Amino acid sequence: MILQGEWRADIEGLRAVAILSVVAAHAGLSLAPGGFTGVDIFFVLSGYLITGLLVRELARTGTIDFAMFYARRLQRLLPGLALMLVVVVMAAAVLLAPYEQVPQASTLSLAFLWLSNFHFSLADFGYFDAASETNLLLHTWSLGVEEQFYLVWPLLLLWLFSGGGNPMMRTNRLRRGLAWILFVGLATSLMLSYASPLWGFYSMPSRAWQFALGGLVYLYADTGSSALATPDVPHPRHRAFHLAAGWAGATLILGSVLFLHERMTYPGLWALLPSAGAALVIIAGTRQAATHGFGRVLTLPPMRFLGKVSYSWYLWHWPVFVLGDVLQPEATLGFRMALIAISLLLAVVAYFILEQPLRVSTWLRARPAYTLAGSLVVMASGAILGSAWAGTAGRWAEAPDQVAFQQLRNDVPQLYSQGCDEWISSAQVRVCSYGQQDAQNTAVLFGDSVGLQWFSALAPHYLQSGWRVLVVTKSSCPMVDVPIFYERIGAEYVVCEQWRSAAVQFLAQLKPAVIFMGSTATYAYSPEEWRDGSARILAPLAAAAGKVYVIRGTPRLAFDGPGCLARLEWQPAMLASLYSCASRPQTLPDEAVDDALRTAAAPFANVRVVDFNPILCPDGLCRAKHGDSVVFRDFQHIANAHVASLQQEVWDVIAAAK
């Protein structure tokens, strides 16, 4: 992923830190929730190394050999990428259901062209969303960002360098130019992180400041190797400074890995921590100081080896993890560690058999035109392969059994087709009404999509009894009076708070006979927040309604239900027999959330917590399909037909709660 300027052992070690962070986070290791910041380290390293490479060439020749530069980049990066992509195609064609292959194929074409970051910028999910976790090529977004950086950076540096003047004037002009990019790029990143989070995360302009930071480190700190260095450039020579810089940088990087997490707006200001940490570690290793302090850790042989294969490991780790989850969705720590080892083994094999021989090939280096032409052929062929795969998988997906599984995702309560659920950008309380409008009694269903999925089991009972039934719902909005960070928008879900407050006020004025309130238990709240936030919602509802039932959040599957069933139909019988579409309920919702809800409900005599989970997962096992009935329409929502079939069981639970 990162190319070298002048070789430094500590730089190899810093690559190792970056890739270990990324792999640990993507493997789901709880000790590294912020390991995704390893990508930020790679960006700063790229800025440092490529700026150094180009500045030395500019100082030596006065220009840049663009053909040679781009050929070297493609010679280094494309072979490993192409190999990984072809292997992923073959594996996915066997392991994934046809309709799951179609979106993968569209990403494949863009990945071959170094444009997949645009695909994810325009996608309807974020980097940390469940939908993104199933994309085999999600990690290629950063390769697209880097290649786009390589495309524009030489042009920019040549323009800044070509203004004339002596070496000092040219050096200062380069510094000023990169400083402007840093400040403007950081401002752009901050703006996009909140206004358009996907573009803020995936786009090259929002990451340009990190490359500029690396370039400034070279121009200011690496004066020992910079051909443009001038005697009056300030440079800290005291060994204590380098030691302090190294350990300070290590602290920032470690703190980012340990304490940043997916619920923060990112990159935003938080990206300054790993980026500044990487810059300080690079500075600490300049002027023969790489073997002191933290540099000693970085230059250990295992660290240097992992740094050497870091690009290859980055390529292989993510698809191995995603396909591993397909085969074993209830991954134990041991299985996760095995996937890490497998991905590293594939990376080492690819590096020594393909990447390294082509990278050091003197024949190719002497013929940049051949490298460029061959690379264009490979990229175009890969794009065609992606298009052909998408068409073929689309035809496979048209088989009747596969179409049936796709249609399961649309098996939702009728309320959604009637516009009852207001979109994420609106705080309007939209109420849907069913039954007799002048009925004496009113029952209300109030909650998010998980709570409201019980509509088809609850509403018929009241409608048959002559009641009016109202639906007040907003998807992904918890019935907990605590702010929530919503990954889909990359920010705090303020609209949810506004809608919830207005909805509670509406219900307090309505004074219905019965309220059913429910939401998923997977929101990232502490038990105390669940307890106190739920109590603040229940207080006005309990005062207004005759009875309030709090529906416990339903279990989550460890996999996508229809997807698993479709894969069982698609995969060879021997492979499909290795696993079943059943799993133990996931840790969320857990007992702590249930205890918090019951504690919140306890002070109110007319509030009860009802638990339908034993109906869904009898014997403690959640199945995608129970008998002839499909239970889940994704990994957490229940198919509406199955809910409707559970009316009697649901009312038995409610009767017991009275």
Q: Are strands 514-518 and 607-610 parallel, antiparallel or unpaired?
A: unpaired
The predicted pLDDT at position 288 comes to 55
Residue whose tokens read 């070297």: 72
DSSP code at position 473: E
Q: Are strands 485-486 and 491-492 parallel, antiparallel or unpaired?
A: antiparallel
The predicted pLDDT at position 579 comes to 74
Helix or strand run (H / E) with residue 431: strand 431-435
Which positions of the chain have pLDDT values less than 70? 1-7, 124-132, 222-238, 287-291, 489-490, 586-589
Which one, of 442, 436, 523, 507, lies nearest residue 475 by Cα?
A: 523
Q: Are strands 622-623 and 582-583 parallel, antiparallel or unpaired?
A: antiparallel
The predicted pLDDT at position 224 comes to 44
Q: How far is CA 612 from CA 104, 400, 458, 647, in A?
A: 36, 33, 12, 11
The predicted pLDDT at position 125 comes to 52
Q: How far apart are CA 581 and CA 252, in angstroms?
A: 43
The predicted pLDDT at position 126 comes to 46
DSSP code at position 353: I
Dihedrals phi, psi of 465, to nearest 5 degrees: -95, 10
Instruction: Give the type of residue at 260.
Output: L
Q: How far is CA 164 from CA 57, 172, 174, 397, in A?
A: 16, 12, 12, 61
The predicted pLDDT at position 127 comes to 42
The predicted pLDDT at position 6 comes to 56
Please report the sign of the dihedral spanned by the C-alpha atoms of residue 12, residue 14, residue 17, residue 22. negative
The predicted pLDDT at position 229 comes to 43
The predicted pLDDT at position 223 comes to 52
The predicted pLDDT at position 475 comes to 86
The predicted pLDDT at position 45 comes to 97
The predicted pLDDT at position 112 comes to 97
